[in-house]
């Protein structure tokens, strides 16, 4: 839980600094900072993606999970909900919570902390959120500051859930979940760099499918060639 505590504190400090600085932060500086965040996210994502144990299972989960997410219109529904709120404190709160809690890095960080007692990703994410919350608060107002307790509740709940249910998971399954998380972080980095926009929330169902596709991937790789030879 120490990673989540650090993350929530970082959001509070960053948002407070952003409210104090206000319009002194130029648009050009905001763009440069988000580019730096994007490059760093890409590096972390590439490193994590190399940990996959069954790449074919991750591929199948990513494809079919994305199809499920698109059919459910997860990303689109969340964006529509945010758009209805318009400007003001409520809008700032929802938009900042989505950025801090609904992304791939949140899920991956809580997974790492819950399964492996490793808060490294949450420490990295907290530091990134420290900077981004300052930028957001300078433009969206005090709603960003109110996102700090939301980060504590949401990420704390996710970490606890992974810690409770993850005891029965094999190291190989954990490696595939980590690899999938790395792929989503790569997408997030590309998105932050504004190279390509992704409906990132539509990828999230893929995490629930990896355990189902691992036996199928293993069968295809080992048993299916033998059957085809006969």
Q: How far apart are CA 179 and CA 90, in angstroms?
A: 35
Assigned token pair, 157: 């709940």
- Spatial separation of the C-alpha atoms in residues 127 and 6, rounded to whole Å: 9
Question: Which pLDDT score is estimated for 209?
Answer: 93
Helix H or strand E segment including 29: helix 27-49
* pLDDT value at residue 206: 92
How many Cβ atoms from other residues are within 10 Å of residue 98's Cβ?
A: 16
CB atoms closer than 10 angstroms to residue 70: 15
Quick check: 180 and 206 in contact, CB under 8 A?
yes
- Reported as a single tens digit per residue, the pLDDT across 143-164 is 778 888 889 998 998 888 888 8
* Per-residue confidence (pLDDT) for residue 91, from 0 to 100: 56
How high is the pLDDT of residue 65? 95
Specify the pLDDT at position 64. Answer: 96
Regions of the chain with pLDDT less than 70: 78-79, 81-95, 98-99, 102-104, 140, 166-167, 223-230
State the pLDDT at residue 230: 62
Q: Which residue has the tokens 């709160």?
A: 93
The pTM assigned to this predicted structure is 0.75
């Amino acid at each position: 839980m120490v990673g989540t505590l650090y993350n929530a504190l970082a959001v509070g400090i960053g948002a407070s600094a952003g409210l104090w600085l206000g319009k002194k932060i130029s648009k050009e500086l905001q763009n440069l900072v988000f580019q730096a965040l994007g490059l760093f996210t890409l590096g972390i994502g590439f490193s994590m993606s190399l940990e996959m144990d069954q790449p074919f299972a991750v591929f199948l989960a990513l494809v079919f999970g994305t199809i499920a997410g698109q059919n459910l219109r997860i990303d689109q529904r969340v964006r529509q909900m945010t758009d209805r709120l318009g400007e003001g404190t409520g809008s700032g709160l929802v938009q900042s919570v989505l950025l801090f809690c609904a992304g791939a890095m949140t899920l991956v960080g809580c997974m790492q902390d819950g399964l492996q007692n490793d808060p490294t990703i949450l420490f990295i994410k907290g530091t990134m959120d420290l900077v981004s919350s300052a930028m957001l608060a300078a433009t969206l107002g005090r709603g960003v500051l109110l996102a700090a307790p939301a980060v504590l509740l949401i990420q704390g709940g996710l970490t606890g859930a992974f810690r409770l249910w993850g005891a029965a998971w094999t190291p190989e399954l954990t490696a595939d979940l980590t690899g999938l998380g790395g792929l989503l972080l790569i997408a997030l980095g590309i998105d932050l760099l504004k190279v390509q926009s992704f409906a990132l929330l539509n990828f999230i169902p893929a995490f629930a499918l990896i355990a189902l596709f691992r036996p199928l991937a293993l069968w295809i790789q080992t048993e299916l060639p033998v059957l085809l030879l006969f």
